[in-house]
Amino acid sequence: MNLSELAWGFIGLLLTVMVLSYLIGDNFFFRLAAYIFVGLTAGYVAVLLINEILWPRLIQPLITGPRHSLIWMVIPLILVLLLFLGQIRRFSG
């Protein structure tokens, strides 16, 4: 067993104890472990989405694809941008 396996094993043990501390009541350690798990999951999903869907199916065809199929790639890109723009709150002056 090398040092890396030992360190990750200790981190896993620590997170397991932090999650099981919920049995004695909702406390800081349980909430910290929950935040860590949610953050790691959100980061993993974001990287997976970029590497497996957005880059090979949207960005690469826009860069290297033939000109006649470019219009079919621009339409989803515009729709995604409209979705993001719809999430921006309007400032009332």
Which pLDDT value is given to residue 58? 79
Q: Which two tokens stand for residue 66?
A: 């033939």
Global confidence as pTM: 0.69
Chunk the chain into consecutive blocks of 10 residues (it has 93) and report each block's average pLDDT, rounded to whole numbers.
Answer: 94 96 93 96 96 88 80 83 82 52
Task: Report d(CA 14, CA 8) in Å as an integer.
Answer: 10
Which amino acid is located at 80 in the chain? Answer: V
